[in-house]
Amino acid sequence: GQNIDQPTEMTATEGAIVQINCTYQTSGFNGLFWYQQHAGEAPTFLSYNVLDGLEEKGRFSSFLSRSKGYSYLLLKELQMKDSASYLCAVIHHAGNNRKLIWGLGTSLAVNP
């Protein structure tokens, strides 16, 4: 089957660095997304990884290890506005079927 695990909640301090982990199990992996979702708002795209390694985009970086079924999202220089839920989603591809499997999200609280 397919499964995604990420911590339910995390807390960090303004200005600090936080790493949000995501582990997945799927037989037809074809890429991994990270989205940010503020309460009551739509998810917004942060990053996409399909090859192993680190992708850096400003204060946010995303890492993927396909052999370990593992990804993390790294947020640097945390700001209060980074308080949100962070969703990990994996593309599962089987034959002509392609679907996005979503984790339940990690709720990050950034404290002053």
Partner 1 sequence: DSGVTQTPKHLITATGQRVTLRCSPRSGDLSVYWYQQSLDQGLQFLIQYYNGEERAKGNILERFSAQQFPDLHSELNLSSLELGDSALYFCASSVELAGTDTQYFGPGTRLTVL
Q: Which residues bind partner 1 (CB under 8 A)?
A: 30-31, 33, 40-45, 48, 50, 87, 91, 97-100, 102-105
- The CA distance from 72 to 26, in Å, is 17
The distance of closest approach from Cβ of residue 17 to partner 1 in the complex, given in angstroms and rounded to an integer, is: 26
69 vs 105, beta carbon nearer partner 1: 105
Closer CB to partner 1, 61 or 106, in the complex = 106
In whole angstroms, how close is the CB of 91 to partner 1 at the nearest point? 7
Q: Tokens at residue 26, please?
A: 């799927």
Tokens of 20: 């949000």
Measured from the CB atom, the residue of 33 and 63 that comes closer to partner 1 is 33
| DSSP symbol at 101 | E
Least CB distance to partner 1 at residue 76 (A): 23
Structural contact between residues 43 and 34, judged by C-beta atoms closer than 8 angstroms:
no
Q: What is the 3-state secondary structure (H, E, C) of 53-78?
A: EEEEECCEEEEEECCCCEEEEEECCC
Q: How far is the CB of 35 from partner 1 (least distance, A)?
A: 8
